[in-house]
Chains A and B, each alone.
Chain A
């Protein structure tokens, strides 16, 4: 996987201090839907190099992060720009849907 994994500290830095435009997938190892969505993001990432960040949170390792966003399931892709939450996509999402959402966040 080429997505950089975040913990509570690096999450804070990248999302809120650096205010990077990015997405963060909340995932876990034994979730079969995640295993479809994560590789899709992996492949999408190079197209957005330097423009939009792709990150990964393992909900088993960083429980407080999913509790903080009161998430109710994995996978969930959360979108951020300028240190603000821009919405999320849940479950088995298609590549096109993610691309549309990224475009929306970048153009906002």
Chain B
């Protein structure tokens, strides 16, 4: 089938592209599905100075290099939005907004995040009429005008400084006490020394005012509770990001309250063969370099998982001999003893069967697939089909009688 892949990566930011490089290099048939521009959030960054090997590079240029690198390993790309998934089965299926369907053995989720909306009155209505979220895109429209920036993180302060190239004045609305910004120290110092930047401390924005275009904002002082109005022609919101993982809710994948996906060291989610990387996962540092590291880890973990899957298929499902699929638990003595006995019985009857051991602790998916809850358990397979289940007793004769 043309739409079947080894590995599908949802999202083409730095995390997804790094996973694609590793997946392509491992000769996995790999597809990246990405809505919008390849490179993700990094495309909105004018200047990156902390990606190793690049002293200074623009976000889009860096991502072009990532993209080219992935293409050089034969990775396929599709510009589409993924809207629904079924990841709980061994064969994962993915549907796009335009109705295309794909399946894969392993899936890496690398959807990054989008700007958080405050959902205050006027914000949505005046979007594009003075309410903005991207300084690179829109700062120029505010030539000689007064602009309000909401937020005090790296993005807010750095974008605020960029806006001063066009605007007459930029007023930054900060939640904290005077002098405290959430951004890095270098940017804070630059902002304090920028004559075009002013600050309103201990404040938040309650409403964007204006009929056709933005005419001002309503602010609330958090200390006194009093409201005030400030005249301006533009408002830029930089109040953080939310993970783009909404389409994964109720698909069986574990997601926390804020939309982040918990993973282990291998980037494995609670579903086998499904990985989450970059800004989508719960982590300490959300940057390009760490997103790239995640992508590499997940792709290697996915490669191993697929390899195991393939081995199982050829060893068990396509075996000439009948197979005894033995589910074991190393922590249960009886389970280990039973394993030994089973091997003994089999070798005494001319190795009629091929015994394949499955560790219940690591192969949860297989246990689930065959509906096995306790070890030991044995399923007899012929040409991949279950023909019976053994009663697991530590009695040689009884066991033998079941195997003839």
Contacts and interface: CB of A to CB of B under 8 A. Distances in A.
A36 B141 contact: no
A72 B137 contact: no
Contacts of B44: 32
A33 B134 contact: yes
Nearest to A60: B140
A36 B127 contact: no
Ranked nearest first, the 5 interchain pairs of A and B with the lowest CB-CB distance are A90-B128, A31-B137, A73-B138, A36-B36, A35-B37
Interface of B: 35-37, 43-44, 60, 79, 127-134, 136-138, 141-142, 213-214, 233-234
A34 interface: yes
30 contacts: A30-B60, A31-B134, A31-B136, A31-B137, A31-B138, A32-B37, A32-B134, A33-B137, A35-B37, A36-B36, A66-B141, A70-B213, A71-B128, A72-B130, A72-B141, A72-B142, A73-B128, A73-B130, A73-B132, A73-B137, A73-B141, A76-B128, A88-B128, A89-B128, A90-B127, A90-B128, A90-B129, A91-B127, A91-B128, A91-B133
B137 A36 contact: no
A32 B137 contact: yes
A108 B133 CA distance: 33
Interface string A56-97: 000000000010001111101000000000001111000000
A68 to B, nearest CB: 13
Contacts of B36: 32, 35-36
Given A32-B136, A36-B37, A72-B142, 7 more contacts: A30-B60, A32-B134, A36-B36, A71-B141, A72-B138, A73-B132, A74-B137
Contacts of A33: 134, 137
Nearest to A70: B213
Contacts of B127: 73, 90-91
A72 B35 contact: no
Contacts of A89: 128
Contact of A72 (B37, B60, B79, B132): B132
B43 A32 contact: yes
A72 B43 contact: no
Interface of A: 28, 30-36, 39, 66, 70-74, 76, 88-91
Contacts of A73: 127-132, 137-138, 141
A76 B126 CA distance: 12
A35 B142 CA distance: 22
Given A32-B44, A90-B128, A72 B134 contact: no
B68 to A, nearest CB: 18
Given A32-B36, A35-B36, A88-B128, A72 B214 contact: yes
A73 B140 CA distance: 8
Contacts of A35: 36-37, 43
A88 B129 CA distance: 10
A67 to B, nearest CB: 9
A70 B215 CA distance: 13
Most chain A CB within 10 A, of B129, B133, B137, B141, is at: B137
A74 B133 CA distance: 11
Contacts of A34: 137
Nearest to A76: B128
A90 B137 CA distance: 13
Nearest to B81: A36
A74 B142 CA distance: 12
A90 B43 CA distance: 20
A26 B7 CA distance: 38
A72 B137 CA distance: 10
Nearest to A34: B137
A86 to B, nearest CB: 15
B127 to A, nearest CB: 5
Contacts of B138: 31, 72-74
A35 B37 CA distance: 6
Contact of A28 (B137, B213, B233, B234): B137
A30 B37 contact: no
A66 B37 CA distance: 24
Given A72-B129, A91-B127, A36 B35 contact: yes
B332 to A, nearest CB: 54
Nearest to B128: A90
Contacts of A30: 60, 136-137
Contacts of A70: 213
A43 to B, nearest CB: 9
A58 to B, nearest CB: 13
Nearest to A43: B98
